[in-house]
């Protein structure tokens, strides 16, 4: 993942130095939840660069390494002398101890993973209003063995003596747990304490400020030129449409490309909502046969994504020639898209993220090299919940703001194997039933994503005293905060029974319904 290039007109109050943790961006998100602006930067960022940025605080992320291994990521040792408060998290704490003269004990049977009660040894501003004995999320093998001079122990767990440490005179702090994850019951309070009590930050990073700065940035970048936006009707592209309409008005043309992979009734809803209700210019392009034809005989999920992404851009280029010219292509790229497309490991030689691909996104990694547009991606730093807040502030109706995420390639990646019209119609009907019944049960807003998946295998069934040999439908419902991690939703049994009965009875070609109860990780939310 390319780190954010620092803009000296917009100084972050808190800088997170990334040592390869899967939670680095989550730390940034938690800081922003305190209405304080934060950015993630490479651990190789020099002390001189940090001095120029002049943040009020620095957080060192966790990471998969041991401080004693070859090529272990090390920060510039001069940062300890900047006089800026620093909080080390897990590996970040061990690095702090290691570089300041203490020692770390390499994993020797005392590793600690999962929830653990935290017990206080000293009172300190870092632990203000944190409950003694509260649960924190541990995930470490190595542990601090000996503290550097001037450091004291703040807290411990039953398995980790130095679970929280501090050198108050130098404003240096460390925790051996992950306060940023939801499993840490008082973790957010600890982060607030570091941000407000120790760094003396002010809550000036608000949704309104983001909108004002994003509007200004778009206007400065685009000038008087025209912008083309792919509108899907989801919360990301819808929020982006409202934001760009506010920024550049008539310079924006939204294009809805109906590739044939949308949910039931979506094309009609989209055109009615944006074009007629909110008077945002939307051009409807019917490209169903074109896209389905491109996927004939294709079964590999990654290849499907790339084909759909490339064809999507080709349609854009062709239609822009007819409607344009357009200089810019706007995309609703979010943080999770960037993270999953780039991976989380660090190259020890460069200090940059290594692309360990999980899946490609056609709005991040699948763009063709001969793309004719310049990109506008004002939502790129936001998580999904932040996008929802921006949408609400822009006046986006709740029925759009609370819509479940929908992948760019649409139902094509919820059909495993080859895609054809028969399977699409089958899945479209089953998916509609899943979402309708969850709405009827009043649970739609409690679930991050609810949808159906069609498997390319058949099983024997009995319907009307006759033998059937038809497809199974997988029901996938997950709960999440940002899509980075997720757990399967515990739906009431009577609701599941209703969904299953309706699908089997109403959807032609289906004789079996199964439930996916896999979390992320180890699985992904989508099946392809």
Using pLDDT thresholds of 50, 70 and 90, give the confidence band for residue 86.
Answer: very high
Strand partners, 520: 486
Percent of the chain predicted with pLDDT > 70: 89
What pLDDT score does 238 carry?
93
Q: What CA–CA distance (Å, rounded) separates 17 from 50?
A: 10
19-62 pLDDT per residue, tens: 988 888 889 889 999 999 898 888 999 999 999 999 999 999 99
pLDDT exceeds cutoff 90 at 406: no
Using pLDDT thresholds of 50, 70 and 90, give the confidence band for residue 112.
Answer: low
Between 98 and 462, the more confident residue is 98
What pLDDT score does 365 carry?
43
372-394 pLDDT per residue, tens: 678 899 998 787 888 999 999 99
Rounded mean pLDDT of 321-331?
87
Q: CB under 8 Å, gap of 24 or more: what pairs does 385-388 form?
A: 385/481, 385/482, 386/29, 386/32, 386/207, 386/210, 387/235, 387/236, 387/239, 387/332, 387/334, 388/235, 388/239
Rounded mean pLDDT of 425-434?
97
Q: What CA–CA distance (Å, rounded) separates 342 from 521?
A: 17
Rounded mean pLDDT of 96-109?
83
| Catalytic member of 162, 180, 340, 528 | 180
What pLDDT score does 202 carry?
94
Residues 6+ apart with CB under 8 A from 293: none
135-194 pLDDT per residue, tens: 998 876 678 889 999 999 999 998 888 999 999 999 999 999 999 988 899 999 999 999
> CA 253, 257, 263: angle at the middle one, nearest 5?
125
pLDDT exceeds cutoff 80 at 7: no
Q: Is 245 exposed, middle or buried (0-12, 13-18, 19+ CB in 10 A)?
A: buried
333-349 pLDDT per residue, tens: 876 666 555 544 555 55
Q: Is the entire prediction scored with pTM above 0.85?
A: no
Which two three-digit tokens encode residue 169? 């005179």
Q: Which segment of 288-302, 305-319, 460-474, 488-502 scores lowest on mean pLDDT?
A: 460-474
What pLDDT score does 323 carry?
87
What pLDDT score does 371 carry?
59
What pLDDT score does 186 carry?
94
Tabulate helix, strand, coil % of the chain (nearest 5): 35, 20, 45
For tokens 């039933």, name the residue.
433
What pLDDT score does 270 carry?
86
For residue 359, the number of C-alpha atoms closer than 13 Å in the C-beta half-sphere is: 22
| Catalytic member of 90, 199, 201, 254 | 90
What pLDDT score does 361 carry?
44
For residue 342, the SS3 value is helix
- Would you give the distance in Å from CA 314 to the centre of its chain? 27
Which two three-digit tokens encode residue 352? 């940059």
196-206 pLDDT per residue, tens: 999 999 998 88
Please indicate whether residue 180 is annotated as part of the active site. yes
Among 305, 299, 269, 300, which residue's Cα sits nearest to residue 284? 269
Q: What CA–CA distance (Å, rounded) separates 381 from 39?
A: 9
Using pLDDT thresholds of 50, 70 and 90, give the confidence band for residue 424.
Answer: very high
Mean pLDDT of the chain: 87
- Strand residues in 287-439 grouped as ranges (E): 328-330, 345-346, 353-354, 374-376
| Catalytic member of 98, 140, 156, 178 | 178
């Amino acid at each position: 993942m390319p780190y954010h290039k620092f803009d000296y007109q917009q100084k972050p109050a808190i800088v997170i130095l990334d040592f390869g943790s899967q939670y680095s961006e989550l730390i940034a998100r938690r800081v922003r939840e305190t209405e304080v602006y934060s950015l993630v930067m490479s651990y190789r960022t020099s002390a001189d660069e940090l001095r120029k940025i002049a943040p009020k605080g620095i957080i060192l992320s966790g990471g998969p390494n041991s401080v004693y291994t070859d090529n272990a990521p090390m920060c510039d040792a001069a940062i300890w002398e900047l006089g800026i408060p620093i909080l080390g998290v897990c590996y970040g704490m061990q690095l702090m101890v290691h570089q300041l003269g203490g020692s770390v004990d390499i994993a020797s049977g005392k590793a600690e993973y999962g929830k653990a009660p935290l017990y206080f040894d000293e009172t300190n501003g870092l632990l203000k209003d944190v409950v003694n004995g509260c649960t924190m999320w541990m995930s470490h093998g190595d542990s601090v063995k000996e503290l550097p001079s001037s450091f004291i122990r703040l807290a411990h767990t039953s398995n980790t003596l130095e679970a929280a440490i501090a050198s108050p005179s130098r404003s240096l702090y460390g925790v051996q747990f992950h306060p940023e994850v939801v499993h840490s019951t008082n973790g957010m309070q600890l982060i607030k304490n570091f941000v407000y009590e120790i760094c003396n930050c002010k809550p000036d990073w608000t949704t309104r400020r983001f909108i004002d700065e994003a509007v200004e940035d778009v206007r400065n970048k685009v000038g008087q030129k025209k912008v083309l936006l792919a509108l899907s009707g989801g919360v990301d592209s819808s929020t982006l449409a409202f934001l760009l309409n506010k920024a550049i008005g008539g310079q924006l043309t939204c294009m809805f490309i109906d590739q044939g992979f949308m949910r039931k009734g979506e094309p009609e809803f989209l055109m009615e909502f944006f074009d007629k209700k909110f008077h945002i210019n939307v051009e409807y392009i019917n490209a169903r046969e074109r896209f389905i034809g491109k996927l004939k005989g294709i079964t590999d999920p990654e290849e499907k994504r790339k084909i759909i992404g490339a064809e999507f851009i080709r349609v854009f280029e062709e239609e822009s020639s007819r409607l344009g010219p357009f200089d810019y292509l706007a995309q609703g790229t979010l943080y999770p898209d960037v993270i999953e497309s780039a991976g989380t490991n660090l190259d020890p030689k460069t200090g940059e993220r290594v692309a360990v691909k999980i899946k490609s996104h056609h709005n991040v990694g699948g763009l063709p090299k001969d793309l004719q547009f310049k990109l506008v991606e004002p939502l790129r730093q936001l998580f999904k919940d932040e996008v929802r807040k921006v949408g609400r502030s822009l006046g986006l109706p709740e029925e759009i703001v609370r819509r479940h995420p929908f992948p760019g390639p649409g139902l094509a990646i919820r059909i495993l194997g080859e895609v054809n019209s028969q399977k699409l119609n089958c899945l479209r009907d089953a998916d509609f039933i899943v979402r309708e019944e969850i709405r009827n049960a009043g649970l739609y807003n409690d679930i991050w994503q609810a949808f159906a998946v069609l498997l390319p295998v058949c099983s024997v069934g009995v319907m009307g005293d006759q033998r059937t040999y038809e497809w199974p439908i997988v029901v996938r419902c997950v709960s999440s905060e940002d899509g980075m991690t997720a757990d399967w939703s515990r739906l009431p049994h009577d609701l599941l029974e209703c969904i299953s009965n309706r699908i089997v009875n109403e959807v032609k070609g289906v004789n079996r319904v199964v439930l996916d109860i896999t979390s992320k990780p180890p699985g992904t939310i989508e099946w392809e």
